[in-house]
């Protein structure tokens, strides 16, 4: 595995990613380590965050996916999450040739982003009652396969 050189920019359109921290493996077995990036706009203001998870547990493959993002409410509707995913492509391909993206079925905005990325629908999964997402109210997840090199 070859990681990107530290001065390789992770950017797309108006978005730049800044690695804020890495989070190690928690002891419970289903959660995985991840990289936490701040999403910055062209003015270098924080507009959200994006996480890239490393691992293939049931939680990742059927519930959380390898990528999770959140855009601050006042910045939504500008395709920033789409550009954040595109900015993360080079970093993702240091680890995987394809990844799983998941979304709650009612989250139409994220479904549009995932489809715009060119991800392919894989399955609808029931969230396992022991999964951390179940405790947060998630019951189903749409799962997609994304090949970052094709976007």
**Residue 122 domain flag:** yes
Q: Which tokens belong to 108?
A: 């139409």
Q: Write out the residue range of the structural domain in which residue 76 sits.
A: 11-150
Number of domains into which the chain is organized = 1
**Residue 25 domain flag:** yes
Is pLDDT at 2 greater than 70 in this prediction? no
Pick the more confident residue, 7 or 51. 51
CATH classification of the domain holding 111: 3.40.630.30
pLDDT tens profile 49-98: 999 999 999 999 999 999 999 999 999 999 999 999 999 999 999 999 99
Place of tokens 């990613």: 17
- Mean pLDDT, the chain, rounded, equals 93
**pLDDT-based confidence at residue 151 (cuts at 50, 70, 90):** low
State residue 26's pLDDT score.
74
**Residue 6 domain flag:** no
**Residue 1 domain flag:** no
């Amino acid at each position: 595995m070859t990681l990107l050189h530290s001065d390789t920019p992770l950017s797309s359109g108006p978005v730049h990613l800044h690695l804020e921290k890495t989070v190690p493996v928690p002891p419970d077995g289903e959660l995985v380590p991840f990289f936490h990036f701040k999403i910055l706009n062209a003015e270098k203001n924080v507009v959200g965050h994006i996480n890239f998870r490393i691992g293939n547990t049931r939680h990742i493959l059927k519930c959380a996916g390898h990528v999770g993002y959140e855009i601050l409410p006042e910045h939504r509707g500008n395709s920033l999450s789409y550009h954040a995913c595109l900015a993360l492509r080079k970093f993702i391909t240091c680890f995987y040739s394809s990844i799983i993206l998941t979304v709650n079925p009612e989250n139409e905005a994220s479904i549009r982003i995932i489809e715009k990325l060119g991800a392919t629908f894989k399955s609808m999964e029931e969230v396992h009652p022991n999964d951390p997402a179940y405790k947060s109210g998630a019951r189903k997840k749409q799962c997609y396969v994304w090949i970052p090199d094709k976007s």
